[in-house]
Structure 1
Amino acid sequence: MRKKVIFPFTLIIIFFLIIFTIYGRAIFQEGNPLPIVKAIIQLETSDSDYIQYSKKPLKYISKSRIDRELMIKKYMEKDKWSYIEQLGGGYIFTKENEQAIVVTKQYSSKYFVWEVPEEASIDK
């Protein structure tokens, strides 16, 4: 009886060790993966283009198939920020002598994360 219980748990532990060995850096690239997993589930079950998963710093996750530049411009224009230019993964905006840079980073082949400076947040 004891072997019947130990064997499946051993297989599960070996499976997770293999997964973490292969994908560990990708899974933990943004720190604790649980908020991101929760946000991905919300994103997949809603019509939203983005889901917030961190408040400090303010971070969002979006699907890679959407036009990230257009979506970020719409987000920032809600609070009257004007688009200036893109430099790599950063989008530069200005508003009344202030400047804000929204930084994007590919999280996986299906998702990217983006960080909005606190002063530029429309969710204040």
Structure 2
Amino acid sequence: MMINELEGILQDIRYANGVYFFEINVDGDIFFALQLHNGYKTGSNVKLRFREGDISIAKEICPEISISNIHKAIVKNIENDSLLARFELSYKEKSLYSLITQRSLRKLNIKINDGVYFLVKALSVEVFCG
């Protein structure tokens, strides 16, 4: 299982009901993360990590969706096996990886160099010291 990692700057921290809500700026895009602990201050350099299985892929975005981390990327490569397809995405000149089923790949009909959206739930994003 591949782990994706991005670097960013912690812009905002909110706390409620035992949970910290982070807003992280990654090269001008905002990512959101929820965590149970906090050892960070706003302005800190942090790393975001999320597994390839936590990234969903879409060609279009429905405005009524609960996922807040939605960003554009380009498909650089697709590795196929009998059940799964691993996407290599180019995002802000970095590679990210997503793992989806062959059924989803057929349904989406995505090819190399296509523009797509990648989606990651805030609960799936882990924040670490940069």
Greater strand fraction, Structure 1 or Structure 2: 2
Bigger-Rg structure (1/2): 1
TM bin (shorter chain): under 0.3
TM-score, normalised relative to structure 2? 0.25
TM-score, normalised relative to structure 1? 0.26
> Higher relative contact order by CA 8 Å / sep ≥ 6: 1 or 2?
2
Greater helix fraction, Structure 1 or Structure 2: 1
